[in-house]
Amino acid sequence: MDWLSPNGLGNGRDGRTIILGTKGYIELRKNMDITRETGGGHIFLVNDDEERYINVKGKVGTPYYGELIRDCLERTEIAMTQEHALKAAELCLIAQNNAKKVDEYLFR
């Protein structure tokens, strides 16, 4: 998942997921289909047999975010258990602690 977007991108955000496999890939575009149309809900599928575009706008939803907000307000665990959230936070801290700083001069 990549949340970094170039400045030239029309809507300023481009949540996308690319799943690479040995026989092809699937690209999901949450917010836009670059250069063709505005709005999200786009899936691009490429494999040994075909390249396919699937428009899923209005066919799928994202109930997670609303459920997470309700979890916070109502102290429930519908979107995510507290154990899961704490484990995710722990793994982030471990990764940060074990990260190696890369010298910025290597990228010039």
Same domain for 44 and 87, yes or no, is no
Tell me the DSSP string of 74-89. Answer: HT--SSS-HHHHHHHH
Here the tokens at position 22 are 């040995």
Same domain for 39 and 6, yes or no, is yes
Same domain for 74 and 51, yes or no, is no
Here the tokens at position 92 are 């982030």
Same domain for 68 and 56, yes or no, is no
Query: 78 with 71: CB under 8 angstroms?
Result: yes
- Regarding predicted confidence, which is higher, 75 or 34? 75
Same domain for 9 and 53, yes or no, is yes
What is the total count of domains within the chain? 2
Model pTM above 0.85: no
Q: Strand locations in the chain, DSSP E?
A: 16-20, 25-29, 42-46, 51-55
Residue-wise pLDDT for 2-22, tens only, equals 455 656 666 556 667 788 888
Q: Which domain holds residue 82?
A: 63-99
